Amino acid sequence: MAEPLFTPEEQKKFDAGIAEIISHYPPDRKSAGMLPALRLLQELKGWLPPEGLRLVAKSLDATPERAMEVASFYVMYHLKKPGKYVIDVCTNLSCSLWGAEKMLAYLEEKLGLKAGEANEKFTLRETECLASCGTAPCLQINEDHHESLTRAKLDAILAKLS
Amino acid sequence: MASTAKAIEPIISAAWGKPQSWTLDSYRKRGGYEALKKALEMQPAAIIDEVKKSNLRGRGGAGFPTGLKWSFVPKDSPKPKYLAVNGDESEPGTFKDRYILSDDPHMMLEGIAIASYALGVHTCYVYLRGEFKHEAQRTQAAIDEAYKAGIFGKTLLGKDFELNCYVVRGAGAYICGEETALLESLEGKKGWPRLKPPFPAVVGLFGCPTVVNNVETLASVPAVFQKGADAYAKLGTDKSGGTRLVCLSGSVNRPGVYEVSMFTTLSELIYDDKYGRGLPAGRKVKAVIPGGSSAPVLGADELDVAMEFEALKVKQTMAGSGGVIVMDDATCMVRSLWRVARFYAEESCGQCTPCREGTPWQTRLLRKIEEGRGEPGDIDMLSNVASSIAPYPPIGLGNTICALGDAAALPTHSFLMRYRDEFEAHIREHRCPFGDKPWGSFGDWS
Ligand SMILES: Cc1cc2nc3c(=O)[nH]c(=O)nc-3n(C[C@H](O)[C@H](O)[C@H](O)COP(=O)(O)O)c2cc1C
Ligand code: SF4
Ligand code: FES
């Protein structure tokens, strides 16, 4: 038999989370909770495994196709298991004016990955404006935001990732 | 430049950076929720009139008069009505709403309460871009406080009026800042903009009348009632009331968010000691984008213009989302436009052919020119591609379902209009004249 998707602990969190999400919408509009529900699943599993997508769809009275359509539209959802740390580097205009392309090149060399590549520990991606243009350059690591980055600051942040 | 720009009394940003500024306690000590109290003594229609009189205009991009937008919501509809707060903040160069959400969320919540009461809204969704984790936490904590204090929930500050408010986080899609894409996303779908009309005020969320307002717009509402609409209007021009936030980034000594008057000029913002403090030593302004990356670029000789909706419109550009991006004389315009074009190609939702096909086409041509492979005719081709997405001027003639098409074409038109010689030099010399330093960047990474 296939391994269950959730541990009992995770199952409890998932059920409670879905109940909370559904309560925010009109009773006949459960499927409106698709984005928060996918986020919940990703918080529990680190990505969106196919059986998880089916479960989310079922919990919201939606089709699995709908769950897949939404999951593939938004860049923050991971349809494949990413590295332990997902690093999103903004290279949009204001950040590039403060050296973002060079910062990305520095990261590529340091991690031995090109933007768009992943290994067990890291997924490195180029991303669009993170609404932090006044404190450029910036990046996010698993949704934690880091700004006004210098080489020294970046080295210190990376050193803490085990 | 020493400080000559007229000082203003900050309204929206007054508490930012102060200890615990995001708590209900701090907000109340500053007179918070007194405006709501005043509004609750008025008839809903009178509240809307007051907002009309204040000349408050939307801070999300289009500058639409807020009171007028509220008045489009049908009064006799049997359906529930909704308020959707636009905190998607994804237009490159824009980073103001995040400070409202993290440093003074109650100011926005008070605006939400006043708007909801005036419109007969009992459910409000605050839609935040997915990356705003910290901002979502602060906002949620403020909402929780407001429920406990009887501001939200079954009663509205003691009045028999139920108001529920939920935070919803997006998941990384610029297009969800467009109001109808935002509604689709709130309905749990991919962010595909809807054809308008009907407008959201009539057919919005779940098919019901819905107002979509920007975070800063709603955070500006309490001041209208605290000061009175006339006093609020008088702070600005005769078509644009109050103060506004602008986001300064790029090649300046002191980037950041500044609250300015509607009379403050771009050159004051860039050079004044209160604001940007000029460019790094040895650099001169080459170009300035005045309202987020989709706003047509202005040249160095065009900066004596107030950062206000009408004044910028006269210059064939827009105040947009308040994102001011400064590029200096060491910056390559082709490289800059290529990066901007790539963004819009990346973020196009793909529904309309001119936008879906045109945005990557622009990007390919720009890359070709920047990499020294450009041929005679490529510039005209680029201009044609942009025109088929949206011609210019004037702004707003797009051939597409939503204004992302315009947003993608306007930078191309305006860069070509003002810096065509730089594009030609790339083609003539078969290389980027800026060599391997196209950004002329400074700071730690130069
Ligand atoms: C492509 C596109 C992206 C947009 N992004 C945002 C955004 O991130 N935040 C925002 O408030 N408005 C954004 N807007 C404008 C909204 O459609 C809408 O006009 C605005 O939220 C209305 O609020 P306001 O009247 O308070 O300005 C965008 C528009 C377009 C066409
Ligand atoms: S203009 Fe572009 S983003 Fe807007 S609906 Fe059409 S394809 Fe989508
Ligand atoms: S351009 Fe990088 S955060 Fe805006």
User: In this predicted model, what pLDDT tens digit does every residue of B279-306 receive, in sequence order?
Assistant: 999 999 999 999 999 999 999 999 999 9
Of chain B, the percentage scoring pLDDT greater than 90 comes to: 93
- Tell me how far apart the alpha carbons of residues B146 and B152 are, in angstroms, rounded to a whole number: 6
Which pLDDT score, from 0 to 100, does residue B440 have?
A: 82
Which pLDDT score, from 0 to 100, does residue B307 have?
A: 95
Interacting residues of B421 by C-beta distance below 8 A, sequence separation 6+: none
**Chain B positions in Cβ-Cβ contact with residue A108 (cut-off 8 Å):** none
pLDDT digits (tens, 9 = 90+) for B212-231: 999 999 999 999 999 999 99
CB burial of residue B318 (10 Å; 0-12, 13-18, 19+): buried
Residue of B nearest to A104 (CA): B445
Q: Report the nearest-CA residue for atom 20 of ligand 1.
A: B60
B87: closest CA of chain A, how far (Å): 11
**Which atom in ligand 3 lies closest to the alpha carbon of residue B93?**
4
Q: Which ligand is nearest to the CA of A135?
A: 3
Q: Is the CB of B355 under 6 A from ligand 2?
A: yes
Q: B92-125 as b/e, with b when 16 or more CB fall inside 10 Å? A: bbbbbbbbbbbbbbbbbbbbbbbbbbbbebbbbb
What band does B1 get if pLDDT is binned at 50, 70 and 90?
Answer: low
Q: Is the CB of A126 under 6 A from ligand 3?
A: no
Q: Is the CB of A157 under 6 A from ligand 3?
A: no
Give the Å distances, CA to CA, from B82 to A37, A88, B70, B186, B212: 21, 34, 11, 11, 9
Which pLDDT score, from 0 to 100, does residue B164 have?
A: 98
Structure tokens at A38: 């996918």
Do B307 and B290 meet the contact criterion of CB atoms below 8 Å apart?
Answer: yes
pTM above 0.95, yes or no: yes
- Tell me how far apart the alpha carbons of residues A24 and B164 are, in angstroms, rounded to a whole number: 9
Which pLDDT score, from 0 to 100, does residue B317 have?
A: 96
Q: Ligand 3 pocket: which of A98, A138, A139, A149 to mutate (most atoms <8 Å of CB)?
A: A138
**Which atom in ligand 1 lies closest to the alpha carbon of residue B90?**
8
| HEC secondary structure over B57-85 | ECCCCCCCEHHHHHHCCCCCCCCCCEEEE
Of chain B, the percentage scoring pLDDT greater than 70 comes to: 100
Asked if residue A88 has pLDDT above 70, the reply is: yes
**Which atom in ligand 1 lies closest to the alpha carbon of residue B58?**
27
Tell me if B189 and A98 make a contact (CB, 8 A cut-off). no
Asked if residue B397 has pLDDT above 90, the reply is: no
Q: Is the CB of B84 under 6 A from ligand 2?
A: no
Tell me if B93 and A135 make a contact (CB, 8 A cut-off). no
B228: closest CA of chain A, how far (Å): 32
Q: Which of A34, A93, A133 minimises the CB distance to B95?
A: A133
- Tell me how far apart the alpha carbons of residues B51 and A66 are, in angstroms, rounded to a whole number: 40
Residue B338, chain A, CB below 8 Å: the answer is no
Compute the average pLDDT of residues A11-23. 98
**Chain B positions in Cβ-Cβ contact with residue A97 (cut-off 8 Å):** 249-251, 325, 327, 331, 439, 441
Q: What is the mean pLDDT of chain B?
A: 96
Q: Which of A74, A99, A134 minimises the CB distance to B247?
A: A134
Q: Is the CB of B179 under 6 A from ligand 1?
A: yes
B179 CA to centre of ligand 1 in angstroms? 6
Do B166 and A21 meet the contact criterion of CB atoms below 8 Å apart?
Answer: no
B172: closest CA of chain A, how far (Å): 5
Q: Which of B186, B191, B444 minimises the CB distance to A99?
A: B444
Please tell me whether the peptide bond between B393 and the residue prior to it is cis, using omega within 30 degrees of 0: yes
Which pLDDT score, from 0 to 100, does residue B2 have?
A: 65
**Chain B positions in Cβ-Cβ contact with residue A96 (cut-off 8 Å):** 336, 339, 439, 441
Asked if residue B4 has pLDDT above 80, the reply is: no
Do B76 and B217 meet the contact criterion of CB atoms below 8 Å apart?
Answer: no
**Which atom in ligand 3 lies closest to the alpha carbon of residue A91?**
2
Residue B257, chain A, CB below 8 Å: the answer is yes
pLDDT digits (tens, 9 = 90+) for B169-186: 999 999 999 999 999 999
B 60-119: CB under 8 A from A: 80, 89-95, 97-98
Q: Which of A70, A134, A151 minimises the CB distance to B95?
A: A134
**Chain A positions in Cβ-Cβ contact with residue B133 (cut-off 8 Å):** 143-145
Residue B135, chain A, CB below 8 Å: the answer is no
Q: Which of A73, A93, A134 minimises the CB distance to B92?
A: A93
Amino acid at residue number B112: I
**Chain A positions in Cβ-Cβ contact with residue B13 (cut-off 8 Å):** none
Q: Which of A97, A107, A128 to mutate to test the interface with B (most CBs of B within 10 A)?
A: A97
Interacting residues of B255 by C-beta distance below 8 A, sequence separation 6+: A94, A133, A134, A135, A136, B248, B249, B276
ipTM of the shown complex: 0.97
What band does A1 get if pLDDT is binned at 50, 70 and 90?
Answer: low
Torsional sign, CA B385, A95, B135, B243 = negative
Residue of A nearest to B445 (CA): A99
Asked if residue A161 has pLDDT above 80, the reply is: yes
Residue located via tokens 């992302």: B404
Compute the average pLDDT of residues B2-15. 87
pLDDT digits (tens, 9 = 90+) for B30-86: 999 999 999 999 999 999 999 999 999 999 999 999 999 999 999 889 999 999 999
Asked if residue B5 has pLDDT above 90, the reply is: no
Asked if residue B7 has pLDDT above 90, the reply is: no
Q: Which of B95, B293, B443 minimises the CB distance to A98?
A: B443
Compute the average pLDDT of residues A62-80. 97
Amino acid at residue number A130: L
**Which atom in ligand 2 lies closest to the alpha carbon of residue B178?**
4
- Tell me how far apart the alpha carbons of residues B23 and B142 are, in angstroms, rounded to a whole number: 7
Q: Of all helices (H) and strands (E), which one includes residue B164?
A: strand B164-169
**Chain A positions in Cβ-Cβ contact with residue B411 (cut-off 8 Å):** none
Q: Is the CB of B405 under 6 A from ligand 2?
A: yes
pLDDT digits (tens, 9 = 90+) for A119-159: 999 999 999 999 999 999 999 999 899 999 999 999 999 99
Dihedral of CA atoms B355, B361, B362, B367 in degrees, nearest 10, equals 150
Residue B439, chain A, CB below 8 Å: the answer is yes
